[in-house]
Amino acid sequence: MKRLLVIALCCISTVNCMQQNINQQQQFNPKQHQQTFQHQNSFNRQAENKRSFNPFKAVRTAGKICRSGTNPIIHSCTAAVSNVLHRLIRKSFSCADKLGSTLNAVSITKAFIAINCLVFAAGKYFEATKGYDPLFRAGAKVNDLIQYYGEYWRLITPIFLHANIQHLLLNSISLYNLGTDIEKIIGKKRVAAILLISGLCGNIASYNFNHEISIGSSSAIFGLLGALLQIGIDFYQITGNASISKEAMFFALLNLAYGIINPQIDNAAHVGGFIAGFLTARILNFKSFME
C-alpha cells in the first residue's frame, strides 16, 4: 500500500508539472534551459551521494523542481521524477524480497495454530463482555443456515473454531506433531492446500451425514493423516519401507474407533477430511517430489 501511495504521488506530481510547463513553452530560453539541466544534474549527484534514501523527501524535492519557474521544459521535469521513480521501485523490490524471505520462514502449521488460538481468545473475550460468542454464531457449521440461507462460508470457518480449551489444545498438539513433520517433507504450500481442502471437504461430508452443529479443525487434521498415508505409500514404492503408511493407518483407525464410541465426535467430518487429504496428496504427486 505504501509503495502504491508513493507511486501515485509521483504520478500526480508529474501531471501537475506537465500542465504547468505546457503554459511556459512559449517562453523558452536556451540559457535558462542549460541552467535547468545543471540544476537537475546537481540534484542527481546529491541524491546518489546519500546512503539512506527517503522516498517521501525525494518526491517533495522533485515536486519543488517541477513547480519552480526555472524549469520550462517538460522532459527535464519528467527526468527528475523518473529518477525518483526508478529509485522507489528498486527500494520497493528490496523491501518485497525481505518480506518474502520472512514469510518463507514462517511455518504454515504454526500459523494455522496461531490463528486458531487468536480466534478462540477473541471468542472468549466477546463471551465475557457481551455474554455470547459472535464468532461461534457466525462461523459454526449449522445445516439449516447453509441450506436455507446460503451461508456457505460455514463449510470452511468451523476449522478455526473450538468449543473449549481442551478441544483447542488437543487439536493444536495433533496439528503441530503432524503438520511440522509433513512440511519438512512436502513443503508449506502443499500443507496449506491439504489443510484447507480437507477441512472444506470434511465439513461438506458433515453437512450431508451429520445434522448437528459442528466446529473444530479435526477434519483438517485427518486430512494430514490421509496425506501422510499417501506419503507412506510413495515412500514404500521408493524404498520398500512401509513404516510411515502403517503408522498413518494405525492413528486414523484409532481415532475413528474413538469417534464411534464417543457420540459427540463428528465422524463424518473425520472420514471426509481423511479421504480429501489422501486424494489431494495423490493429485499433488508427492512421489515425484520426494524423488
Question: Residue 257's pLDDT is what?
Answer: 87
What architecture (CATH level 2) is domain 108-290? Up-down Bundle (1.20)
pLDDT at residue 187 above 70? yes
The residue among 68 and 186 whose pLDDT is bigger is: 186
CA 209 to chain centre: 32
| Mean pLDDT, rounded, of the chain | 76
pLDDT score at 81: 54
Q: Which helix (H) or strand (E) holds 150?
A: none
What is the predicted pLDDT for the residue at 255? 85
Residue 124's pLDDT is 94
In the chain, where are the structural domains located? 2-104, 108-290
User: In the structure grid, which three cell numbers stand for residue 77, read together?
Assistant: 521535469
Model confidence pLDDT, tens digit, residues 161-176: 999 999 999 999 999 9
pLDDT at 220 exceeding the cut of 50: yes
Contact between 83 and 47 under an 8 Å Cβ cutoff? The reply is: yes
The predicted structure's pLDDT at residue 4: 35
Quickly state the pLDDT bin for 88 (edges 50, 70, 90).
low
pLDDT of residue 65: 54
Query: What are the CA-CA distances from residue 229 to residues 139, 178, 236, 244, 279 (Å)?
Result: 30, 12, 10, 7, 10
Instruction: Collect all residues with Cβ–Cβ distance below 8 Å to 25 and sequence separation of at least 6.
Output: 72, 74
221-272 tens-digit pLDDT = 999 999 999 999 988 887 888 888 888 888 888 888 888 888 888 999 999 9
For residue 15, pLDDT over 90 is answered with no
Give the whole-number percent of the chain exceeding pLDDT 70. Answer: 62
Whether the predicted pLDDT of 37 surpasses 50: no
pTM of the model: 0.65
Neighbour tally for 265: CB within 10 Å: 18
pLDDT at 30: 41
Phi, psi of 232 (to 5 degrees): -65, -40
Give the per-residue pLDDT at 234: 86
Catalytic residues: 218, 270
